Amino acid sequence: MLLKTKKNFFLCDKNKEQDTVKLASVWENIDFFSCPSDYNFHLHTNCSDGQLTPESIVEQGLSIGLKGFAITDHHSVKGYYRAKNWLKEKYNLNSNVILPHLWTGIEITSELNGTNVHILGYGFNPEADILHKYFTGEQPNGKDALAKNVIRNLHEAGGLVVLAHPARYRRSALELIPEAMELGIDGVETYYAYSNPHPWQPSENQTMMVKKIAEKYNLYTTCGTDTHGNNILVRL
């Protein structure tokens, strides 16, 4: 199956589990209310700097009826594998449980024209050799940390690439998003709660700004709580 994306290139659905065609179609319909109850594409576990175990994230997701999610630990896919195994071992034979779709995810600290940014990768092949240097638990250095190389490597591994929380950096999203777009970014984390409200909801001003830029450059818009605490419904 082939799908022409907003970026005018083709993605091939070679792996049902890491179906980037399905992922792109989900992102086409993400809105202000999609996260945290339906989709959550920014979650951290205790495999990096989060408090929840991957198994706990799965259980919380099931309890709220989550449709799809990705664990985006910093420089690690260990949490993804544990969540995947938990879903398979505990629920694979239970036809009464509707399981959320789990995509691979990672958050990589990168350098974009002199600014440290976080780049999110999704739906990539976690066994791709080209990505192993980003699975060390430590942020990359030198050429491996350059945003253009991070983006290219994630693409070569079959993934889609998103600029995380673009209004959190020392330079404006108005500058950073176009620069990331020139390097081949696929989307931007548009619906994000910058002030960590309870209950979680996207920050209106930043969301409107980022969404407008995404529309201008034909980029996907994503959402996520950026959970680091013990509840996937909030950030901390």
Q: What is the pLDDT along the chain (236 residues), one digit of tens a residue?
A: 233 345 544 344 446 789 999 999 999 999 999 999 999 999 999 999 999 999 999 999 999 999 999 999 999 999 999 999 999 999 987 768 889 999 999 999 999 999 999 999 999 999 999 999 999 999 999 999 999 999 999 999 999 999 999 999 999 999 999 999 999 999 999 999 999 999 999 999 999 999 999 999 999 999 999 999 999 999 99
Residues whose CB is less than 8 angstroms from the CB of residue 23 and which lie 6 or more positions away in sequence, other chains included? 68, 103, 122, 123, 160
Quick one: DSSP state of residue 76? Answer: -
Write down the pLDDT at residue 14.
47
Write down the pLDDT at residue 15.
67
pTM, entire model: 0.93
* Within-domain flag for 209: yes
* Within-domain flag for 41: yes
65, 64, 82: which is closest to 73 by C-alpha?
82
Can you read off the two tokens belonging to residue 65? 């009826």
- Residue 127's domain is classified under what CATH number? 3.20.20.140
Q: Domain range for residue 125?
A: 2-223
Residues whose CB is less than 8 angstroms from the CB of residue 183 and which lie 6 or more positions away in sequence, other chains included? 112, 147, 148, 151
Write down the pLDDT at residue 167.
98
* Within-domain flag for 231: no
Write down the pLDDT at residue 96.
81
Q: What is the pLDDT of residues 102-117, one digit of tens each?
A: 999 999 999 999 999 9
Query: Bridge-partner residues for 135, per DSSP?
Result: none
* Within-domain flag for 232: no
* Within-domain flag for 234: no
* Within-domain flag for 228: no
Instruction: Please tell me the distance from the alpha carbon of residue 227 to that of residue 232, in angstroms, as a whole number.
Output: 5
* Within-domain flag for 230: no
* Within-domain flag for 235: no
Domain total in the chain: 1
The DSSP string of 87-128 is HHHHHTT-TTS-PPEEE-EEEEEEEETTEEEEEEEES--TT-
